[in-house]
Every structure is written in structure tokens, then in C-alpha cells.
Amino acid sequence: MASTLELAKELIRRPSVTPDDKECQQLMIDWLKPLGFDCEKMDFNDTENLWAIRGNAAPVFVFAGHTDVVPPGPLGKWQFDPFTPTEHNGYLYGRGAADMKGSLAAMLTATKRFVDQHPTHKGSIGFLITSDEEGPFINGTVRVVEQLMQRQQPIHYALVGEPSSGKTLGDVIKNGRRGSLTGWLKVQGTQGHVAYPHLAKNAVHVSLTALSDLSNKLWDNGNAFFPPTSFQITNVEAGTGAGNIIPGELALEFNFRYSTEQTADSLKQQVEAILNQYELDYQLNWKLNGEPFITQKGELLDACQKAIKQELNIDTRAETSGGTSDGRFIAKTGAQVVELGPVNATIHKVDECVSIKDLEALSRLYQRILENTLL
């Protein structure tokens, strides 16, 4: 049996920059089929997806993840070629080492050991893998979940291999994520010469009070699982570049990271109420990137915390911090969802790497979680 390290290397060698899969999923299929998995490609447009399942009984435990990686950036800034997996000082270097090809390798080796040792385990084991997590997330996990729900295929437990750990492996797991809502606002004024302000209407000036209200508003106090909702202006554009022209239009982008105390609709209504209060002439477009979800204490969270204590002898923290993940789509099935993966210190960075020791430890953790849920 190939080691977790060897499998991670094989995956890293495939330059699967989103949404390209570069046959990473085929490698996984070649690994899973001999274990008795039914493997189904569920590709949509430019995105490759894999749904694999062994068994048809409850509970259904699913490993979820992605084969795509972010671009490596300037190659000259890397110590080693990002798609030539390199061992150095106890670490494996390469794009995707931590996010999340190391996790995929650990899932595969953990599953093989578990199935070999417990061929008549209860329940079923599934894999839900996409090549569109780092991209626009249009044709990936969200589409597969839609298909599975139409088939009435249940998912009871989902373990997402995102790099959740902070300083050491297993110190943090994610039992939920905040929602993300983006808005694009255009406020209209009247362009004019700065020497004749009475003949113009400065789009920046008329927007300032409303923007101040939005920036300073306490949207909620959060709750036991989430911090308060955050509103942040991320991009602003106004003016022509000339110093003697009053801007006739202000365009800006903003983002909410919000808790389960809010909904996307409630946030939209509150923003529009503030803009309308100041009688602004505006256009506003929205994109819901993901709704918040939470997995409260239950079988999966208990199984993960117990496994980390068994293998690493540490008490893990369950958090909802960080960005979005594909867990938000899987949660729509009613599944308990937890994210557990390597240390995230180098993800999306030059010289991305993962501890070689942690790779094998992560595989053992995943096997323990399978044992804690399916035995």
C-alpha cells in the first residue's frame, strides 16, 4: 500500500489549477474501486466531480474535498518547483500540499486501512470531490449536492479536509462557517468642474453619511457559535483621475460575513433602508456566496474530538472562524459537517508545505473518526 506521503506527492505532481483536475480524480478512482466503491463522475461544464460510495446502509459518512489548487504565482519566488513535490527539513513542499491534496491522500489511506480491518462495518462511506472549490464554485460541490438531493441520497456525516488546524495538527476544527454576502453599489451624482460646485452633485459627498451608518452599524451581537456580523467596504472607485472634476458616480464593493442571527434577505433590507433614508440615486447588485451553517454537539463532533484526543492527546477547539468552504453546500442536506485538516499557515502562499509527520497522523485521525462513527 502506498503511504500517505507517496499519494500526496502523486497528487501534487498534477498541476490542477482550478478548475482543471489533471486526472487527480482518476487517481482516486483507481484507489477506491478495488475497495468496493461505486465511482461516478458528475462533471458539469469545465468542472470535474466525483461521487463514490461503498455500501447503501445508514449512516452515510462522506469525505469531502477538492482537487483544484490556486495558481502558484511567480515561480521564481518558490524554493522548489510548486508541482515537483519536494521533501525538505521534515516538510513536503508543493502547491496543494496543505490545501488540500495532503488531506485527500490521508482520506484514501485511512479508508483503505479501515475497510481492510473492518470489511463488514456498519453504514456506508462516500467521497464527494470537486475541481471547482478554489474558483467560482458554480459547477462543483453545489451541483453534485443538488443531484444527490434529487436522488434522495442521504448524507449523515461529512468530514471536509480543509486545513483547519492553527499552530498544531488538530488544535482547531471547524463546526460551522459564517455566511458571505457581497454587494456592488453605484451612487449617481452630477459631474462638474470643482470651481462650480453649485452646478454639480458630488457622488462621494452625498454618499458619506449613509456609508458611515453602514460602517458603524451594530448588525447583531453574534451568538454562542459566531462573532457579530461584520460589514467591510473592500473596493471604492470615483473620479476620473483629474483633480478639477467633481465625481458624478461612486462605485464600491462591500462584503458581509454574517452569523445565524441574520439572513441574506434581512441584510439586504437593512442596507436598502439606510440608502433610501438619504434619498440616494443608486443601483445595488448582490451575490450570496454562502449561507452560515453550524454543526452543534452530536455524533460527528464527538467522534472528531474523541479521535484527536486518542491520537494526539490534545483537546481540540471547535470554531466557525475563517472564510467559506464547500461545507456550506453539504450542510443543506441536513448532514452534520466538520472540517479537519492540516495546519493552514502556508495555504495559498509561496512555498506551501505540510509536515510529513502530520500527513500520517492525519490519516490515523481520519481512520479513528471512521471507527468512532461506523463501528
Q: Which residues are annotated as a binding site for Zn(2+)?
A: 66, 99, 134, 162, 348
Beta bridge partners of 339: 160, 174
- Numbered residues of the known binding site: 66, 99, 134, 162, 348
Cell 463514490 locates to: 52
Q: Which of 48, 133, 352, 358 is catalytic?
A: 133
Q: What are phi and psi of 49, to 5 degrees?
A: -135, 150
Contact 134, 47 (CB under 8 A): no
311 is catalytic: no
133 is catalytic: yes
Length of the chain as a residue count: 375
Where residue 275 falls (left for φ over 0; alpha for ψ -120 to 50; beta otherwise) is: alpha
Give the per-residue SS3 of the chain: CCCHHHHHHHHHCCCCECCCCCCHHHHHHHHHHHHCCEEEECCECCECEEEEEECCCCCEEEEEEECCECCCCCHHHCCCCCCCCEEECCEEECCCHHHHHHHHHHHHHHHHHHHHHCCCCCCEEEEEEECCCCCCCCCCHHHHHHHHHHCCCCCCEEEECCCCECCCCCCEEECEECEEEEEEEEEECECEECCCHHHCECHHHHHHHHHHHHHHCCCCCCCCCCCCCEEEEEEEEECCCCCCEECCEEEEEEEEEECCCCCHHHHHHHHHHHHHHCCCCEEEEEEEEECCEECCCCHHHHHHHHHHHHHHCCCCEEECCCCCCCHHHHHHHCCEEEECCCECCCCCCCCCEEEHHHHHHHHHHHHHHHHHHHC
Which are the catalytic amino acids?
68, 133
